[in-house]
Amino acid sequence: MTRWRSRPSPAGLARAAVAALLLGAGCATAPAAVSDRDLTVSEGTTFTVAFDRRAGTGYGWMVDGVDAQTVALISRSVERDLAMPGGPEREVFVFLARGSGTTTLRFTYARPSEAATMSPAEARAYRVQVIRC
């Protein structure tokens, strides 16, 4: 899978955005992430998780494990460079932090038609802690 070498990592961007949101929302300090797959967000804010993917392969990212009490998926989109047909794309998931708690978002990279019968080509999990400030 092609990586976006000129861009910061999605997890790094997510951590920076979360820190900015928490500080802007009145939290005195932004909690430190234990790893690049740990996110801490404030109730009522949105956060983004983005993945690279290759156009034209039939593969896409799917999310499972959305605990509706804690987080809600509010949009999913694909960013692409129209000047590069078949080039790299980014699949972007935007979530709303609804209520305090911890949940794990599980993402799989697979063809939707094969998801039930074959193992995914790639899988990632993000631990999301929603806090009240």
Q: What average pLDDT does the structure give for the chain? A: 78
DSSP 3-state of 47: strand
> What is the Cα 48 distance to its own chain's centre?
5
Q: Which of 11-20, 54-63, 96-105 has the highest mean pLDDT?
A: 96-105
Q: Which two tokens stand for residue 27?
A: 């939290």
- Residue 131 to residue 103: CA distance in whole angstroms: 12
- Between 22 and 113, the more confident residue is 113
Beta strand pairing call for 46-54 and 88-97: antiparallel
* 8 Å CB contact between 72 and 98: yes
Which candidate, 70, 73, 68, 64, places its Cα nearest to that of 107?
64
pLDDT band at 64 (very low <50, low <70, confident <90, very high): confident
Top-level CATH class of 10-131? Answer: mainly beta
pTM: 0.72
Instruction: Please state, in angstroms and rounded to a whole number, the distance separating the CA atoms of residues 104 and 65.
Output: 6
- What pLDDT does residue 35 have? 56
Beta strand pairing call for 46-54 and 38-42? unpaired
68-96 confidence digits (pLDDT tens): 899 999 999 999 888 887 788 999 999 99
Q: What are the domain boundaries of the chain?
A: 10-131
Q: Which pLDDT tens digit goes with each residue over 114-130?
A: 878 888 999 999 999 99
Tokens of 80: 């692409």
Q: How far is CA 103 from the centre of its chain?
A: 13
